[in-house]
Structure 1
Amino acid sequence: MAMSSPTETSVEVDAEDRNKTSGGDQDGATVSLDSSGRPLGKSEDQKTVRRLAQNREAARKSRLRKKAYVQQLESSRLKLLQLEQELQRARQQGVFVANGCLGEQGHSLGGSGSLTFDMEYSRWLYEHQRQIGDLRIAVNSHVSDNELSLLVDAVMAHYDEVFKLKSIGAKSNIFHMLSGMWTTPAERCFMWLGGFRSSELLKILASQVEPLTDQQLMGLCSLQQSSQQAEDALSQGMEALQQSLAETLASGSLCPAPGSDNVASYMGQMALAMGKLGTLENFLRQADLLRQQTLHQMQRILTTRQAARALLAINDYFSRLRALSSLWLARPRE
């Protein structure tokens, strides 16, 4: 019998060990293992890869569907707000509404500029509520002052945007802006020249941002006094304008018969009255500028966290006014 050499025997044993170690794979390739440590075949490994890819694709499609659904809800909400505002204006101005639909007269009363502003304000208010929600979470979770400062600055910049929108809306329909038809009835009850009174708002905030240093307290008191003086001056100017306008309309024969000699006088008086009405836009612009400057000066007087609490208090105040309007309109009637 032929005897194998020790070298040949060693080679055979090493090859056999390698085969056992590689799981029987003669090519020496790495074999995938499942969660229990058992080796996966090539077909099972490919199935796993395909299944993971399908799961990722399904998750991606689900996110896209959710995003599209949220966008559709937002679009529907804006349309509903627009319809509610149109219906409210139509009822207040005595327009007949049949079968829940407005006629052409309903669209012409407010003007396209007023409707555009109402829609833009609805978008602004929606974004404002989102920013206030982020600010409230940040205050309650005690984030750093740097992070909180970014959120406060964002809310302040957003307030600047609404003043720009009002300036554009005033050029289109000053009466719409001064009367506050874009707000709820309870908000209009406390409205002054198309917005809030800065001095009254500072009184509300005083108890919400305590404790205050002596310097902060003096700064807020000075700001409140200057705001009150500016408001009084603007109110006196509006009263003088109304009196002058009433005297202009009451003088002379305002409704002359066609072909009479008083037609020229009538047209002159109406032109004079129109010129006086043109100053209303200036009053609204000054009132909004006062409101805007008051907010920014308040931010400079207070610390970052105090300013954040002040912005939350302002939002809560107007949110309660809107809620009060809803409750009043939904009250039971006999």
Structure 2
Amino acid sequence: MADASPRTDISTDVDTDDKNPRFDRSQSLVAVASDSSDRSKDKSDQKSLRRLAQNREAARKSRLRKKAYVQQLESSRLKLTQLEQELQRARQQGIFISNSGDQAHSMSGNGAMAFDVEYARWLEEQNRQINELRAGVNSHAGDTELRMIIDGIMAHYDEIFRLKANAAKADVFHLLSGMWKTPAERCFLWLGGFRSSELLKLLVNQLEPLTEQQLVGITNLQQSSQQAEDALSQGMEALQQSLSETLSTGSLGSSGSSGNVANYMGQMAMAMGKLGTLEGFIKQADNLRQQTLHQIHRILTTRQSARALLAIHDYFSRLRALSSLWLARPRD
């Protein structure tokens, strides 16, 4: 028994020694796994930091581009204002020159200038109303509030047609020439304004989806507008041909006899009478435009009408901006 006790102690010591290496290996594996996890975490953190840095850089570049764009628009606006002021001064100088020569010419020039001033005020008020409408649409205002704003804009359109009717009496050629419009707008000018049929084509693409009944109404309106435009265009061509024939028949002889003078005066009287019909053509074209706007308003819902008015305004605003950029372009 004395021999057995030491053996037992020795056996216990051997087992303990055998277990220690296993424990050490286990600790090593845990440490390796921990190091691997730390490295993966570090890589993930680095990726996140790189992504954040890239996002910050993209946002910075976006802000710079936006700032440059705003500065470009502001520069274009200032150039447009300067050009408008120069144009106004040029018109005033032209009127002063005409005052020294022909009183009737001066009255016509003053009428054109007065219309240009009124039209500039009209545009300014329209911009204010459109901004109010846009804010109402973006804030999801109720139909009642939107309808009040729309009614005000429609009444404002009626005002420009009244102003144009008065201007046609003073100087119908000023309206026909489109000098009160920007160059890009003059490219699409028809009898002193826009073509109703073209405006309807623009709106159909902007207002989808439309109900079948609305689509039929707009299609019929577009066809009738096109027919009226064709009739007025043919009338203008006939007037031009007739006026040309009137001025080309006969001549004031070199002798200056009383008979030739009488023929000449009669010829001019006939030409003046035919020119007087130009005012009627302008009125008919403006009536067509005015009725088209009101018909669109009746066909569409309140919110569709709001979108239509915004689309119309944005289209003409882009034409004016295009004119400003074109006039301000660098010239070699």
Match of 2:25 in 1: none
Match of 1:295 in 2: 293
Match of 2:37 in 1: none
What is the CA-CA distance between 1:83 and the residue it aligns to? 3.9
Match of 2:146 in 1: 148
Match of 1:104 in 2: 96
Contact 2:91 2:113 (8 Å CA) reproduced: no
Match of 1:167 in 2: 165
Structure 2 unmatched runs, 5+: 1-80, 100-104
Q: Which has the higher contact order (CA 8 A, sep 6+)?
A: 2
Alignment of 1:1-334 (within 5 A): 83-87=85-89, 104-105=96-97, 111-254=109-252, 257-334=255-332
Residue aligned with 2:189, SS:
coil
TM-score under structure 2 length normalisation: 0.70
Contact 1:81 1:122 (8 Å CA) reproduced: no
What is the CA-CA distance between 1:84 and the residue it aligns to? 3.4
CA distance in 2, matches of 1:86, 1:329: 16
TM-score under structure 1 length normalisation: 0.70
Contact 2:95 2:110 (8 Å CA) reproduced: no
CA distances 1:274-299 after superposition (whole Å, capped 9, x unpaired) = 00000000000000000000000000
CA distance in 2, matches of 1:195, 1:308: 22
What is the CA-CA distance between 1:239 and the residue it aligns to? 0.2
Contact 2:232 2:285 (8 Å CA) reproduced: yes
Match of 1:55 in 2: none
CA RMSD of aligned residues (A): 2.0
CA distances 1:100-129 after superposition (whole Å, capped 9, x unpaired) = x66721676661111111111111110000
What is the CA-CA distance between 1:332 and the residue it aligns to? 1.1
What is the CA-CA distance between 1:262 and the residue it aligns to? 0.6
What is the CA-CA distance between 1:85 and the residue it aligns to? 3.3
CA distance in 2, matches of 1:319, 1:332: 22
Contact 1:86 1:106 (8 Å CA) reproduced: no
CA distance in 1, matches of 2:166, 2:259: 40
What is the CA-CA distance between 1:145 and the residue it aligns to? 0.4
- Distance verdict in 2 for CA 1:102–1:280, change over 3 Å: closer
Moved over 2 A (4+): 79-90, 106-110, 254-261
CA distance in 1, matches of 2:272, 2:198: 33
CA distance in 2, matches of 1:302, 1:248: 48
Structure 1 unmatched runs, 5+: 1-78, 91-100
Number of corresponding residues? 246
What is the CA-CA distance between 1:180 and the residue it aligns to? 1.1
Q: Identity over the aligned pairs, expressed in percent?
A: 67
- Distance verdict in 2 for CA 1:195–1:255, change over 3 Å: farther
